[in-house]
């Protein structure tokens, strides 16, 4: 299954972003595989939104798994909903700060994840990997990319499962376990 996997680079206090490390490591592991597209996005509203659209149009994936880092998370968070809202005190890496702003002016208020998140959670827990469903992905750059990706899939009418997974900090979960988690999710359909 042609899968697009994305992560984000460092942001905020500059702590390593586990989603970047997971994507870079999986890119090395899947080198040569033509059905995997793995890319680290910049943590910038405009650039990340532009790039995810470009990737979807170019590759027309059958599955999109976007990854991000949630420092406050205690487990793998399988996100349920993307909101049509950017709202943050924290500037992105380009210095942009969005307050109460719709992502797509005439877009729906929210999109549901179309990844099989319940099944993914069960599969993760069976492996002993802490995981939970989260009801929304925040209102910063991760939610932005999740929403833009879902909107693009709808707009193009692609038959493509698309969703978002937040990873906890490396202090809470070793990178190896996070990689296993992403592989379990990617292998689950
Ligand atoms: N986490 C941020 C943006 C980039 C990332 O990895 C978020 O949760 O919005």
Query: Ligand 1 test: best mutation among 69, 83, 85, 90, most atoms within 8 Å of CB?
Result: 69
Task: Supply 80's token pair.
Answer: 């349920």
Task: Reply yes or no on whether the pLDDT at 6 is more than 70.
Answer: yes
| CATH number of the domain bearing residue 93 | 3.40.630.20
pLDDT score recorded for residue 33: 83
**Which residue in the block uniquely carries the two structure tokens 């978002």?**
164
**C-alpha 69 to ligand 1 mean position (Å):** 5
- Would you say 168 and 74 are in contact if contact means Cβ atoms under 8 Å apart? yes
The number of distinct structural domains making up the chain is 1
Active site residues: 79, 142, 166
For 99, the domain range is 3-188
* 71 CA from centroid of ligand 1 (Å): 9
How many whole angstroms separate alpha carbon 176 and alpha carbon 170?
10
Percent of the chain residues topping a pLDDT of 90: 92
77-108 pLDDT, tens digit per residue, is 999 999 999 999 999 999 999 999 999 999 99
Give how far Cα 60 sits from Cα of 29, 142, 151, Å.
Answer: 22, 21, 14
**Would you say the CB of residue 145 lies under 6 angstroms from ligand 1?**
no
| pLDDT tens profile 104-137 | 999 999 999 999 999 999 999 999 999 999 999 9
Q: What percent of the chain has pLDDT over 70?
A: 99
pLDDT of 50 reads: 98
> In the structure, what pLDDT confidence band is assigned to residue 188 with cuts at 50, 70 and 90?
low
Q: Give me the mean pLDDT over the 138-165 stretch.
A: 98
Mutational pocket test of ligand 1: of 39, 44, 166, the residue with most ligand atoms within 8 Å of the beta carbon: 166
CA–CA separation, 94 vs 124, rounded Å?
35
pLDDT in tens, 30-56: 888 889 999 999 999 999 999 999 999
pTM, rounded to two decimals:
0.97
Q: Is the pLDDT of residue 75 over 80?
A: yes
Report the nearest atom of ligand 1 relative to the CA of 69.
6
| Mean pLDDT score of the chain | 96
Given a cut of 60, whether residue 189 has pLDDT beyond it is no
Instruction: Count Cβ atoms below 10 Å from residue 161 Cβ, excluding itself.
Output: 18
């Amino acid at each position: 299954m042609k899968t697009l996997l994305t992560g984000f680079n460092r942001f905020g206090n500059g702590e390593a972003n586990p989603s970047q490390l997971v994507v870079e490591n999986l890119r090395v592991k899947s080198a040569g595989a033509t059905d995997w597209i793995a890319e680290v996005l910049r943590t910038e509203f405009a650039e990340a939104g532009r790039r995810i659209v470009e990737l979807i149009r170019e590759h027309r994936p059958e599955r999109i798994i976007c990854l991000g880092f949630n420092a406050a998370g205690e487990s793998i968070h399988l996100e349920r909903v993307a909101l049509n809202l950017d709202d943050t005190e924290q500037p992105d890496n380009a210095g942009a700060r969005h307050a109460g702003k719709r992502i797509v002016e005439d877009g729906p208020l929210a999109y549901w994840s179309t990844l099989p998140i319940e099944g993914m959670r069960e599969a993760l827990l069976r492996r002993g990997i802490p995981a939970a469903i989260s009801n929304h992905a925040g209102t910063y750059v991760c939610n932005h990319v999740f929403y833009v990706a879902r909107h693009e899939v709808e707009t193009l009418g692609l038959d493509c499962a698309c969703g978002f997974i937040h990873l906890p900090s490396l202090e809470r979960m070793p990178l190896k376990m996070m990689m296993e988690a992403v592989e379990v999710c990617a292998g689950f359909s």
